[in-house]
Amino acid sequence: MRIGTQLQYAGGFTEAAAELADLEKAGLDVVAVAEAYSFDAVSQLGYLAAITDRLELTSAIMQAFTRTPTLTAMTAAGLDFVSGGRFTLGLGASGPQVVEGFHGVKYDAPLGRLREIVEICRMVWRREKVVYDGKYYTLPLPPEQGTGLGKPLKLINTPVRERIPITIAAIGPKNVELTAEIAEGWQPIFFYPEKAAETWGASLAAGRAKRDPALGELDVVVGAPCAIGEGLDGLREQTRDSLALYIGGMGARGKNFYNELTVRYGFPEAAATVQDLYLSGRKAEAAAAVPQEMVDATSLVGPEGWVAERLAAFREAGVTTLMLTFPQGSHAERVRTVERVKKLVADL
């Protein structure tokens, strides 16, 4: 199980980036940069490529709808080039709240668009002339839709790799199935190890049945807050705010993928309550209504023995890359946490 971390997109980026050299020495394998509706991930990943030597870099996640497929491919090839072949393209469909609200792009057919984006990216990386006639993307643009001057082109530069790994963020059944079929990696959110098989097992199996063996085994990339020590119950409780934001506020009623996931985890009443409270502005009450079981199961905050048990559960559920966030502590404490997690994983 590889160990990584995701740099936060809410300030302090250069300070967090400066810590990576020590975290890398402590055994960190991967660093991710999110995008959401903050600074773009690309410029920050380019910065990280310049100041790191071994760390794998990944976008977690880069907006799929807001870039053309060929621009996405060009960007990934550029980041793979400046990092010396250390980049993984993390993609996701996001949701209508961000795609339509912040970018002004219609949110439609996320599964079909993701499939076509992946296919076009791989054509670009192979330096093929990009001629593509899909349901959602057509290259070159047909004369009746443009000037008629467009012609098939291929990438000028030769990429470091003709197959840059792709990880897709997915939690819905059909999206997870698609990911298991076409991507090198899968990134779910709020991963509950003991409920993973019943929640996603059928979708993963269906996707893997259609998977090209050349893609290799599916890399399961899961995030969790991590702090090791006694008396850290309060730190674990801090995750309630983030859980409530997603379950209650990231989407409208009837169109909140994270709320639907909470229902599939077996908490339909709590999901409804959290959403009602959050959308009515009672955010503290919404956080308090998040099930304790979900808070505990998705966290790695607690005594060393308890964290070791949770790590074993994550591994048993198929997790191959664990992306840690650090809810407290100094730089030195974060370095020690990475060292301890690496040892615990090695001892499993």
Average pLDDT (88-112) is 91
* Domain spans of the chain, in order of start: 2-220
Average pLDDT (211-217) is 96
* CA–CA dist 121, 139 (Å, integer): 12
Both tokens assigned to 80: 């793979």
List beta partners, residue 62. 91
Helix (H, G, I), strand (E, B) or coil at 184: coil
Q: Which region among 177-181, 282-286, 323-327 has the lowest average model confidence (pLDDT)?
A: 323-327
pLDDT tens digits, one per residue of 14-63: 888 988 999 999 999 999 999 888 889 999 999 999 999 999 999 999 98
What backbone torsions phi and psi does residue 212 show, to the nearest 5 degrees? -70, 125
Q: According to the model, what pLDDT value does residue 233 have? A: 85
Q: According to the model, what pLDDT value does residue 329 have? A: 80
Q: According to the model, what pLDDT value does residue 11 have? A: 61
How many C-beta atoms surround the C-beta of residue 2 within 10 A? 17
- Asked if 297 and 289 count as a contact pair (C-beta separation under 8 A), the reply is no
Q: According to the model, what pLDDT value does residue 24 have? A: 93
pLDDT tens digits, one per residue of 287-335: 999 999 999 999 999 999 999 999 999 999 999 999 999 987 889 999 9
pLDDT over threshold 70, residue 285: yes
pLDDT over threshold 80, residue 348: yes
Q: According to the model, what pLDDT value does residue 95 have? A: 82
Place of tokens 């209504």: 289
List beta partners, residue 220. 186
How many C-beta atoms surround the C-beta of residue 344 within 10 A? 21
pLDDT over threshold 80, residue 344: yes
Mean pLDDT of the chain: 94
Q: According to the model, what pLDDT value does residue 64 have? A: 87
Helix (H, G, I), strand (E, B) or coil at 168: strand
- Sheet strands (E) in 36-194: 56-59, 62-63, 87-92, 132-133, 138-139, 166-169, 185-187
Long-range pairs of 344-347 with CB within 8 A, sequence gap ≥ 24: 344/304, 344/307, 344/308, 344/311, 345/1, 345/3, 345/311, 345/315, 347/308
| pTM to 2 decimal places | 0.94
- Asked if 321 and 221 count as a contact pair (C-beta separation under 8 A), the reply is yes
Structure-model confidence comparison of residues 227 and 329, the more confident one: 227
Q: According to the model, what pLDDT value does residue 97 have? A: 82
What's the CATH number of domain 2-220, 3.40.50.12590, 3.20.20.30, 1.10.10.60, 2.60.40.10?
Answer: 3.20.20.30
- Asked if 14 and 335 count as a contact pair (C-beta separation under 8 A), the reply is no
